[in-house]
Structure 1
Amino acid sequence: MSLPRRCLQLDVGNSSAKWRLLVDGEISARGVYRPGDSASRQALLACTPELEAMWVSSVAGEAAEADLAAMLEGRWGCAAWFARSEVETLGLRNSYDEPRRMGVDRWLAMLAARNRHPDTRLCVVDAGSALTIDLVGADSCHQGGYIIPGPGLMERALLLDTDRVRFAEAAEYSLAPGTCTAQAVRHGIGLAQAGAVTLALREAALSGPPLPVFTGGGGEWLAATLGGIGEFVPDLVLDGLQLVGQARAR
């Protein structure tokens, strides 16, 4: 099987999908697709007149995956391939007794981070709807990880279960103590996110300090807030998908 000339790649979360189109190995278009949003749907379906391959990383449910596959295949006439977590991929070894139960986005992010930094102990941080933190040994073994609610989930949980915590004003995430309810909530969430990564790195350092690699919508903020440590790679999951898809196509 030869490498596809035109390949659409998607990183599908629970509420939206980040996508990019590669032509001859170079990114020629990118965007975000949101189910139910006609403008984002049109932008995705109009990104290219033809495709040779569609590769997907998805943590959505089976019904959502089936709807997405039907939409893509109806537009371009080729089958979408969905990556899955495995016992071992390209030398990276999974620590789960049931590897398929690991979110494939975590698996692909680790693969891409390891490809960027071979023979290095890593801490891969994906700050999205959930904050995931995964450790990879220099021997390419997954050493375990953490899954923590992301900022949006934290805020919704707080507002759902507390009658008097309400606010309408905007507030950015920060580590400074808040001087109004909006700041207290958002800054508290920022403190929790940054604190979780700090503690994970501190625990991991007992076995030798890992190199942090950040990705996800909140990854750049986390890396900067923690002093600019490590590296921020916005397309880490898609980069991992590219590695696996290329290996499969060869």
Structure 2
Amino acid sequence: MKLLVDAGNTRIKYTIFQAGKFSTIHTVSTGNLTPELSADVIAKITGCLIASVKQSDAILAVIDWCEKHNIPIQQLRSTEHHKGLINSYPEPRTLGVDRWLAMLGAMKLFPSTSLMVVDAGTATTLDCISQQGKHLGGWIIPGIALQMSTLFDKAEKIHGEPVAINNIALGNNTSMAVSQGALIATLGLIEQGVKLCAEQGLKPHVILTGGNADYVSQHLVLEHHVDPALIFHGMSQYC
């Protein structure tokens, strides 16, 4: 039984992985995992795998929690290759481990297929993988909420607040224009990625994950798949 911990930019998610299956995925803002895990479950955990984009206080608290419960820890890092995935970065460890694991998860779910993995969270990342498992590279832009908050907070003459978008349209007030623009920028990222792949003879299967995946999915006309547990599928490749 393994404890899998995914520490993103704004929250910590964790689950138990046993016999090829995940338990309920929990989300916390601190490193205290005890409230959701019974003493019986904790006693059966044989190791903890941690994926962290930064060494935050919360992650240090998770490490401390594991040490108090005598649970061995493995902090995952991007490598040159793993389970058929080949890293395109000249310095493999500099590729964000969240992107690396999401790609591993996508390859586990859709083997021998060209893929486009979009993680729509605090940042929105896009990564393309060939049918042979080679990472072709990717893009990073601010996430939808970050795009909007940056304009409202930093642009002196732009005033408004985020609004939910039901249909793609031209905005007729500042709040709507910014909110539509942030969504359109994200959709455009994906559409341009598919177009670029097509120019290279690829027809990637698009997979969405991250906190904004469902929101983006509502408006994305391209055929795609949504999996909120994609990073955990990737982490399971180390179990």
The answer to whether TM tops 0.5 is yes
Q: How many aligned residue pairs are there?
A: 235
Deviates more, 1:216-225 or 1:149-158: 216-225
The aligned residue for residue 206 of structure 2 is 212
The aligned residue for residue 121 of structure 1 is 114
Query: What RMSD, in angstroms, separates the aligned Cα atoms of the two structures?
Result: 2.2
The secondary structure found in structure 1 opposite 2:74 is strand
Seen in structure 2, the aligned counterparts of structure 1 residues 43 and 227 have a Cα distance that, compared at 3 Å, is farther
Q: How far apart are 1:144 and its partner, in Å? A: 0.7
* Residue 157 (structure 1) aligned with residue 150 (structure 2): yes
Q: Give the whole-Å Cα distance in 1 for the aligned partners of 2:194 and 2:222.
A: 14
Deviates more, 1:135-144 or 1:150-159: 150-159
Q: Give the whole-Å Cα distance in 1 for the aligned partners of 2:147 and 2:47.
A: 37
The aligned residue for residue 67 of structure 1 is 61
Tell me the amino acid that sits aligned with residue 223 of structure 1. S
* Residue 240 (structure 1) aligned with residue 234 (structure 2): yes
1:171 to 163, 175, 181: 163
1:8 to 3, 6, 28: 3
Q: How far apart are 1:73 and its partner, in Å? A: 2.5
Name the TM-score, length of structure 1 as normaliser: 0.85
Q: Give the whole-Å Cα distance in 2 for the aligned partners of 1:207 and 1:159.
A: 38
Tell me the amino acid that sits aligned with residue 128 of structure 2. L
Tell me the amino acid that sits aligned with residue 115 of structure 2. L
The aligned residue for residue 35 of structure 2 is 43
Q: How far apart are 1:46 and its partner, in Å? A: 4.9
Tell me the amino acid that sits aligned with residue 130 of structure 2. G
Name the TM-score, length of structure 2 as normaliser: 0.89
1:29 to 24, 33, 43: 24
After TM superposition, list the pairs within 5 Å mapping 1:92-103 onto structure 2: 92-103=85-96
* Residue 80 (structure 1) aligned with residue 73 (structure 2): yes
Tell me the amino acid that sits aligned with residue 61 of structure 1. Q
The secondary structure found in structure 1 opposite 2:153 is helix
Structure 2, gaps ≥5 residues long: none
Q: Is the 8 A contact 2:78 2:93 kept in 1?
A: yes
- Cα displacement string for residues 21-66 of structure 1 (whole angstroms, at most 9, x for unaligned residues): 2344433332101138xxx855345583422221111112365533
Q: Give the whole-Å Cα distance in 1 for the aligned partners of 2:220 and 2:65.
A: 41
Q: Is the 8 A contact 1:223 1:229 kept in 2?
A: no
Q: Give the whole-Å Cα distance in 2 for the aligned partners of 1:193 and 1:108.
A: 21
2:186 to 185, 193, 206: 193
Q: Is the 8 A contact 1:56 1:83 kept in 2?
A: yes
Q: Give the whole-Å Cα distance in 2 for the aligned partners of 1:144 and 1:82.
A: 24
Tell me the amino acid that sits aligned with residue 172 of structure 1. A
Q: Is the 8 A contact 1:69 1:79 kept in 2?
A: no
The secondary structure found in structure 2 opposite 1:29 is coil
Q: Give the whole-Å Cα distance in 2 for the aligned partners of 1:26 and 1:110.
A: 19
Q: Give the whole-Å Cα distance in 1 for the aligned partners of 2:67 and 2:204.
A: 41
The aligned residue for residue 138 of structure 1 is 131
Give aligned-pair identity as a percent: 30
The secondary structure found in structure 2 opposite 1:120 is coil
- Cα displacement string for residues 46-105 of structure 1 (whole angstroms, at most 9, x for unaligned residues): 58342222111111236553333113332x221221111000101211111110000111
The secondary structure found in structure 2 opposite 1:192 is helix
Q: Give the whole-Å Cα distance in 2 for the aligned partners of 1:33 and 1:122.
A: 30
The aligned residue for residue 3 of structure 1 is none
